[in-house]
Amino acid sequence: MLEPGYGGNGLRLIELLEEAAPPTPKLSADHAVLPLRLTAENGAKGLMIGEFFVSTRVVCDACEGTGDHPERRATAAKDVDEDCPDCAGEGWTVGKVEVDWTTIKAIWRKAVEHFTAAPEVPHG
């Protein structure tokens, strides 16, 4: 219900809404307001899927982990004294494995748990 003084321009209505609204918390520049949970509904899944990877060592496919040039292995040629071009003779390469959605949500929950402000306890 509008009080007298509305005047048709909406200013009084805006004042009433501002008075009824809970106070907006003041945040410092190094803080943000974020959702407690990541869901497809709040858009987090679409934004985060495919964004996070873990690097892991994997056996080189070309030399099967020996580090020798594949031509040397295939022909048993002793005169080929080169390292595998794919892994530079290491026998392994670094592969990127995508972090799955379940793990992303678990990490988020842990961060929220850690950084959630404790409720204020009234002193009395």
Count CA atoms within 13 Å of residue 37 on its CB side.
4
Residue 49, burial from CB neighbour count under 10 angstroms (0-12, 13-18, 19+): middle
pLDDT given at position 89: 92
Beta bridge partners of 55: 96
Q: What is the pLDDT of residues 13-62, one digit of tens each?
A: 666 666 666 677 777 888 777 888 898 888 889 888 889 999 999 999 99
pLDDT band at 75 (very low <50, low <70, confident <90, very high): low
Indicate the residue type of 68.
D
- Phi, psi angles (nearest 5°) of residue 93: -130, 170
